[in-house]
Amino acid sequence: MPTPDKTSRDAIVAAGRELLETGGLDGLTMQAVAERVGVRAPSLYKRVRDRRELLALVVAATLDDLTARLEDTRGEPDPARRLAAQADALRDFAHERPAGFGLVFAVHSAPRPDPDAVARSATPLLDAVTELAGPDHALDAARLLTAWANGFITMELGGLFGLGGDVDEAWRWGLERIISAVTR
């Protein structure tokens, strides 16, 4: 009779996401994941081919998490408030999962997110900016907002806003101006 499975692919990915947050990309090893889920490293290979596949699964799960948070804003009927809620959701996500945020948005050697998953994650943003900027400039507006938010959040997470002032107030001020700028 076969031995019962001691772990699952979902548990492996969840452990990988947690290890990423505590130890960065270098801390995300097959051995560390195995220890976290309570099996020996060779047992992981029944579920995950290698570290590269593990990283790809962690990237996918992280982007799925972010997409779900962005989708949660869709109930807001006002596109400007919906866009602000999406930006806030992105910022909250980055503060809760800074390494995951970096895994999705930064340049690194880990596998890039699947283009279809990226498109799904961008859909709530594109819907809101299409209403605000119009279809001819929706992609431009989405890129502007994403680039500004990513830059702000990256600097914030890096502790680079040391000149004083209220960072939350600066976020709100900048976000209001970006939304105003893309509104036709």
The C-alpha atoms of residue 146 and residue 143 are separated, in whole angstroms, by 5
Burial tier of 169 (Cβ tally within 10 Å: 0-12, 13-18, 19+): exposed
HSE toward the beta carbon, residue 131, CA cutoff 13 A? 15
Q: How far apart are CA 34 and CA 175, in angstroms?
A: 42
Average pLDDT over residues 112-125: 94
Higher pLDDT among residues 109 and 63, named by residue: 63
Q: What is the pLDDT of residue 118?
A: 94
User: What are the DSSP calls for 92-134, one per residue?
Assistant: HHHHH-HHHHHHHHS--SSPPPPHHHHHHHHHHHHHHHHHHH-
**What domains sit in the chain, N to C, each tagged with a CATH number?**
1-48 (1.10.10.60), 60-182 (1.10.357.10)
Collapsing DSSP to helix, strand or coil, 6 comes out as coil
pLDDT digits (tens, 9 = 90+) for 78-100: 999 999 999 999 999 999 999 99
Q: Residue 2: its pLDDT value, please?
A: 44
SS3 state of residue 24: helix
Burial class (CB in 10 A: 0-12, 13-18, 19+), 133: buried
What pLDDT does residue 1 have? 41
Task: Say what the pLDDT of residue 108 is.
Answer: 83
Predicted model pTM: 0.92
